[in-house]
Amino acid sequence: MSDVLGLIVEVRPLQAHFRIPYNSLLLDSYPFPPRTTAIGMLAGAMGLPEEAFRELLKKLRYGVIIADPGSRVEEKAAIFKSPNSPLYPITKTLFHMPTYRLFFAGDEGTIEKAHDALLDPVFVPYLGDSESIIYPARREYLHIVEVEGGQESKLRSLVPSEEYASGARFILLKRNNLFPREYQMPVDFTYSRGKGRRAIYQNVVAFAGGYIELANPIDVLLFAGEPVFAF
């Protein structure tokens, strides 16, 4: 993997919302930026059109560590259509001041362009909805690093559900945590004429405040020594 570089992006948005699309009256949220969302953030910073975003999805691999889940909060609102229509209550889940470590791996040119775009973005970078503007977690929040392949059984990053189901335990280290839970994460899109795009999902297990020890080592990418499962 000598031609592959890694980009680590450490962010701490004031609030974050990554909608789970299954109920129109409950705007629930993933507790992490899904793959399509994170790569979409890079595409926006680079000023890429839809077709180029599709190509970027093919070029990059992605993993994420929830360094701090933040505080889960809920907003409630009502849709008002007319004086005689019923009110439709909507609940929206947000995470207040979480911290994420985002990992991207790709060819040298793509990684360097993404790095430079985040320093001088075409469009304001945000994660999830347009209110979730990213803020650096620290002054030096962008790092281009060497990437190597490896195997590891102890991980702080998201892991595939099938590997977790084969045998795993969660080692709790912090009071502010999220216990492992399975999610369907959008990882790509299919495009059809007249129907727009539809998400392709992969089942993952997300957690925070500790690490997971799998029954068997799995293939990972080492970002400057940090083992990350990349989708």
160-194 pLDDT, tens per residue?
A: 999 999 999 999 999 999 999 999 999 999 987 76
Can you give the pLDDT at residue 89? 81
CA 216 to chain centre: 25
In the predicted model, is pLDDT for residue 222 greater than 90?
yes
Please state the rounded mean pLDDT for residues 191-216: 91
pTM: 0.93
In the predicted model, is pLDDT for residue 56 greater than 50?
yes
In the predicted model, is pLDDT for residue 1 greater than 60?
no
**Residue range 63-72, pLDDT digits in tens:** 999 999 999 9
Can you give the pLDDT at residue 180? 98
In the predicted model, is pLDDT for residue 195 greater than 80?
no
Please state the rounded mean pLDDT for residues 119-126: 94
CA 146/CA 125 separation, integer angstroms: 24
How does the average pLDDT of the chain come out, rounded? 93
Of 108 and 90, the one with more pLDDT: 108
